[in-house]
Amino acid sequence: MSKSILYLVRRLCFYLIAGFAALTLNFVIPRLMPGDPASIIFARFRGKLKPETIDAMRQSFGLTDEPLLMQYWSYIKGILSGNLGTSIAYFPEPVSEIISSGLFWTIFLAGLSLIIAFSLGTLLGIFIAWNRTGKLDTFLPPVLAFLGAFPYFWLAMLILYIFGFSLNWFPLSHAYGNEVTPGLNLPYIFSVLYHASLPALTMVFVSLGGWLLSMRNTMISTLGADYITFANAKGISSRLIMLRYAARNAILPNLTGFGMALGFVLSGALLTEIIFSYPGQGYLLLQAVKAQDFPLMQGIFMTITFAVLAANWLVDIAILVFDPRTRK
């Protein structure tokens, strides 16, 4: 067992180094973009402000001409103390507060649809691989692969147009209705679920095929293995073979994929959020880039980076649990 702990610690160290590298890139890349935020905000007024205003704005934003190394130092110091700075687009709101508001909706929407797509896809994959001569197996994989091959934004807009606009069954935008008060009350919860259903549906739609196919394919090759034949010969119930013997082995690649996808949940389903006007992380990121809001961009990229790394580490743990071979 100590070996597996050593393995986890080693992985953790690797992730820490990767995280640090990402933080550094995160600092450098926005600074390579053309333009500076104060000038951009000034220009937005289209000639209605005097140029002297720019200096006032630079003072407020704390934009300095300090050497990059000093800026880098205060950036790292800020992150370690949990202070991500003040947003420029939403001045004077702190970045951490803006991100936390977007984060909630993103985790809710993208997380929920990922879990649905992953569990449904994997279960269906197990099932159709087990009954691989059945009708479902000839029908489902090509249909889902076909759907998954559509450009996502096109499919999402089509669905929004049909079910949201033409049929008027679902709302066109937002995370909840304007008539409800946020809080722990039934109308609010119902409204949130109602508003999330269409975007979540589109996300499940396009990703289901991937999960299903990869599960089905590994499952089929696992089912051909000798130990399955042996288990059959021993007379173990087929349900047990399907789930405990075959699926447990075959799920490993899907699990890695799940970990990756889990990390990317935080980057927000950018297109989904834009098409459905959903107030999540992806939409925030778009706004931040448009306004050259360095602090907000950095904050968002940082949460994404750490989420991906943390999810990978969790997958490492999960694989240790599922796959005894890694525990040697």
Partner 1 sequence: MQSCDRNVSRDKEGLIIYQEQFLSWVRNFEPLNPASIPRWPTRGGIYEPLYIYNPIKAEWVPWLATSYQWKNNNKKLLFTIRSGVEWSDGTPFNAYDVAYTFNLTKRYPALDTRNSWEYLKSVVAQSDTVLEVSFKRIYVPGFDAIAGTYIVPKHIWSQIDDPLKYSNPEPVGTGPYTEILRFDSQIWELGKNKNYWQPDKPHVDKLIFPAFSSNEQVTLALLSGELDWSGAFIPAIERIFVDKDPEHHQYWFPNTGYSTFLHTNTKHPILGDVRVRKAISYAINRPQVVKVGMYNYTEPAHVTSLSGPMAKWHSPDIDKKENWTSFNIEKANALLDDAGYAKNKKNQRLDKDGSILELDIIVVSGWSDWIRSAQVISQNLKNVGIKTKVRTYDFGAWIGRMQTGDFDMSIGWAEKGATPYNFFKGMMFSEYVKPLGEIADLNWHRFGLSEADLLIKSLERTSDQNKIQNIIQNLQHLFIEHAPGIPLFAEPAWGECNTKYFTNFPSQNNPYGPLSNNEQPSFIFTLLNVKKR
Preceding omega of 92 cis (within 30 degrees of 0): yes
Q: Which is nearer to partner 1, 38 or 246 (CB)?
A: 38
**Choices 4-12, 116-124, 171-179, 207-215 (CB under 8 A): range interacting with partner 1:** 171-179
64 lies in the binding site for partner 1 (CB under 8 A): no
Residues near partner 1 (CB under 8 A), total: 54
- Residue given tokens 């490492």 in the structure block: 316
Binding status of residue 146 toward partner 1 by CB under 8 A? no
The alpha carbon of residue 167 and the mean position of all alpha carbons in its chain are separated, in whole angstroms, by 30
Supply the Cα-derived Rg of the chain in whole angstroms.
24
Question: Among 39-47, 116-124, 205-213, 303-311, which window interacts with partner 1 (CB under 8 A)?
Answer: 39-47
Residue 175 contacts partner 1 per CB under 8 A? yes
In the complex, minimum distance from the CB of residue 178 to partner 1, in angstroms, rounded to a whole number: 5
> CB 272 → partner 1: shortest distance, Å?
13
Which alpha helices (DSSP H) does 150-225 contain, by range?
Answer: 152-159, 186-223
Question: Pick from 115, 61, 55, 118: which is nearest to 92 by CA?
Answer: 61
- Name the residue type at position 106: T
Nearer to partner 1, 150 or 165 (CB): 165
For residue 270 the two structure tokens come to 């950018």
> Does residue 32 bind partner 1 (CB under 8 A)?
no
Q: Burial-class residue 52 by CB neighbours within 10 Å (0-12, 13-18, 19+).
A: exposed
Which amino acid would we find at residue 101? S
Closer residue to partner 1, CB minimum distance, 37 or 125: 37
If DSSP codes are grouped into helix, strand and coil, which group holds residue 85? Answer: coil
Stretch that binds partner 1, among 113-121, 225-233, 271-279, 309-317 (CB under 8 A): 271-279
Nearer of residues 157 and 220 to partner 1, judged by Cβ: 157
321 makes contact with partner 1 (CB under 8 A): no
User: Binding of partner 1 at residue 110 (CB under 8 A)?
Assistant: no
Q: Is 158 in the site for partner 1 (CB under 8 A)?
A: no
40 part of the interface to partner 1, by CB under 8 A: yes
Instruction: Name which of 306, 202, 206, 224 is nearest 263 in CA terms.
Output: 306
Distances, alpha carbon 79 to alpha carbons 38, 145, 252, in Å: 23, 42, 35
Please tell me the distance from the alpha carbon of residue 99 to that of residue 84, in angstroms, as a whole number. Answer: 10
Please report whether residue 226 would count as binding partner 1 according to CB under 8 A.
no
Question: Residue 247 CB: number of other CB atoms within 10 A?
Answer: 23
Q: Taking every pair of C-alpha atoms in the chain, what is the biggest distance, in angstroms?
A: 86
CB of 207 or CB of 272, closer to partner 1: 272
Residue 127, number of CB atoms within 10 A of its CB: 20
Query: Structure tokens of 100?
Result: 């936390």
Q: How far apart are CA 305 and CA 316, in angstroms?
A: 17
55 is a contact residue toward partner 1 (CB under 8 A):
yes
CB of 239 to partner 1, least distance (A): 47
- Determine which residue in the list 23, 27, 85, 90 makes contact with partner 1, applying CB under 8 A: 90
Which range touches partner 1 (CB under 8 A), out of 13-21, 59-67, 233-241, 313-321? 59-67
31 makes contact with partner 1 (CB under 8 A)? no
Least CB distance from residue 34 to partner 1, whole Å? 4
Interacting residues with partner 1 (CB under 8 A) = 33-35, 38-43, 46-57, 59-61, 86, 88-93, 98, 101-102, 165-166, 168, 172-176, 178-179, 181-182, 274, 277-279, 283, 287, 290, 292
